[in-house]
Amino acid sequence: MLRRLLGVVVGLVAWFIIGTCGLLLIRAAWSAYAASEEAMTFTLPMQLLRLTVGVLSSVGGGWLAARMARSDSRAAWWLGALLVLIFIPIHYQLWDKFPIWYHLTFLLTLAPIVGLSGRTARREPALL
């Protein structure tokens, strides 16, 4: 149980680090993205790129959560549920900034991507 909790915490931290680094990289590489970020007036390619960063964060966070929990993929599913709970109020606040498909794509795929990514860690020995 303690390992699973550790996996959730480490996976959560990893999710935000990967996401933050990904968005910082986009901002640095794409000046139009950086210019539209404050007003959140993203074009379709920018929105798709943001969703891609979310997927990469979810895969990395879910995989690491399960690895830290000694290949227990339940840690990744718990992480996925926690992330959905964290992001529902955030997306509610941003509802008018993005199209509905964007919110639904992010929120409805978040837990499954994180949880299923944790299953890939089962095939490898635990980190600790």
pLDDT tens digits for range 39-79: 999 999 999 999 999 999 999 999 999 999 988 889 999 99
CA atoms within 13 A on the CB side of 101: 3
The pLDDT of residue 59 is 98
CA angle 100, 11, 40 (to 5 degrees): 30
The pLDDT of residue 128 is 59
The pLDDT of residue 72 is 87
Q: Is the pLDDT of residue 122 over 90?
A: no
- Eight-state DSSP code of residue 73: T
How much is the average pLDDT of 91-111?
A: 98
Number of folded domains that form the chain: 1
Residue 31 within a domain: yes
Amino acid at 52: T
The pLDDT of residue 61 is 98
Residue 80 within a domain: yes
Residue 55 within a domain: yes
Sign of the alpha-carbon dihedral angle for 55, 58, 64, 66: negative
How much is the average pLDDT of 102-110?
A: 98
Sign of the alpha-carbon dihedral angle for 96, 100, 102, 105: positive
Count of other CB atoms within 10 angstroms of residue 17: 13
- Note down the domain range covering 54: 2-121
Is the pTM higher than 0.85? yes
